[in-house]
Amino acid sequence: FLSVFMVVALFTAVLAGCGSSEKASGGEEKKSGKARVIRAGIGLNDKHPQYLALLKFKEIVEKESNGSIKVETYHSSQLGDDRAMMEALQLGTQQMTIPSTAPIANFVPEFSVYDIPFIFPSEEVADKVLLESDVAKELLDKLPAQGMVGLAYWENGFRDLTNDKVSVATAKDFKNLKIRTMENQLHIAAFKALGANPTPMAFAEVFTAMQQGTIDGQENPIATIYLQKYNEVQKHLSLTHHVYSPFVVLLSKVFWDESSKEEQDIMTKAAQEAGEYERKLIREANVQNLEDLKKAGMTVTEVTPEAREEMKAITDPAVEKFADKIGKETIEKVKKAVEDAQ
């Protein structure tokens, strides 16, 4: 079903692209009354704070641009998975998506710095690093060379582990668990180091894979676990907090370059403003939805700081192998920014 939808979506995109050959230059566009369209797609569903914040982005951009830009929103991987959507951004057949940083690392390897387990100690520190540090900005500045523009960091959040086999409290409990990971080499290596059997897979396939038992579990922030109803096919939740995932609001560079400076400013500001809203919503959801998951019957396992230290010690050597790919300087800068934030 999904693939049929994707093909239809792609054709629509190509047709839309053919129709709008005229160059955008703010004023004239408005006179002719023809809005340029941002097709924005995400993997999460329409209950997730990311989607609600995307609607906020739409509201701000459509208002501030006086209708010169229209935003069409798609959720639940309707336009494809994270990789497909980023490739469509590069081609200019889709204009916007908001992936986690992990799949972005397949395009800009430096983004894997955020995949290093336990690199962020808290949301507050993550905020300071992502919203205020030079290195976070420098990473966004590497995107245009890949045909994408990074407007802002949003929050997916600390990732926790679910599975249908055992309650995972310490490193040894990962043994032989078949865990879906994002399509990211560092994640795969880290889960291997823990003795798990990592299986990279697109987000949209995860629920069915767990339902059919082709995988034992997955890892995502609480809000995603609840809103995607993973509790219906998973018994155990462990509060591992092993990785903090930022989201990045990505725009196609094709669309960006066709926009006036004024429109670019409107889109950047809107992404930042909607980002504040998204952080607020997702933090509320992560607290509330943990209670919801308990009520729904999931067993929740706390993970001690000592157990996290052990997991970190086990994954560190695997992570070390990625230092050259990520760039030692980038890693040092992020670690320094984390220190400064504390």
| 93 binds ligand TK8 per the rule CB under 6 A | no
| 281 binds ligand TK8 per the rule CB under 6 A | no
| 330 binds ligand TK8 per the rule CB under 6 A | no
Neighbours of 32 (CB within 10 A): 9
Tokens of 37: 């369209």
| 246 binds ligand TK8 per the rule CB under 6 A | no
Interacting residues with ligand TK8 between 302 and 321 (CB under 6 A): none
CB of 230 to ligand TK8, least distance (A): 11
Neighbours of 276 (CB within 10 A): 14
Task: Go through 145-171 and write b for each residue having 16 or more CB atoms within 10 A of its CB, e for each that does not.
Answer: ebbbbbbbbbbbbbbbbbbbebebeeb
Select the residue interacting with ligand TK8 from 93, 156, 234, 289 (CB under 6 A): 156
Looking at the DSSP bridge assignments, the partners of residue 218 are: 162, 180
The one-character DSSP state at 81 is -
Question: Which residue stretch of 16-24, 41-49, 107-115, 296-304 sits at the interface with ligand TK8 (rule: CB under 6 A)?
Answer: 41-49
Select the residue interacting with ligand TK8 from 245, 289, 301, 315 (CB under 6 A): 245
| 150 binds ligand TK8 per the rule CB under 6 A | no
Measure CA of the first residue to CA of the last residue in the chain; give whole Å.
48
Helices (H), 34-81: 49-64
| 234 binds ligand TK8 per the rule CB under 6 A | no
| 322 binds ligand TK8 per the rule CB under 6 A | no
Interacting residues with ligand TK8 between 62 and 91 (CB under 6 A): 82
Using the minimum distance from each CB to ligand TK8, give the nearer residue, 179 or 267.
Answer: 179
Classify residue 261 by burial, with Cβ atoms within 10 Å: 0-12, 13-18, 19+: exposed
Tokens of 48: 């997730």
Using the minimum distance from each CB to ligand TK8, give the nearer residue, 29 or 160.
Answer: 160
Strand order in the sheet with 96-97: 69-74, 36-41, 96-97, 244-252, 148-158
Using the minimum distance from each CB to ligand TK8, give the nearer residue, 203 or 256.
Answer: 203
How far CA 148 is from CA of 35, 67, 285, in Å, comes to 21, 23, 29
Select the residue interacting with ligand TK8 from 118, 203, 244, 256 (CB under 6 A): 203
Using the minimum distance from each CB to ligand TK8, give the nearer residue, 69 or 151.
Answer: 151
CB of 181 to ligand TK8, least distance (A): 8
Residues that bind ligand TK8 (CB under 6 A): 42-44, 82, 99-100, 156, 182, 203, 220, 224, 245
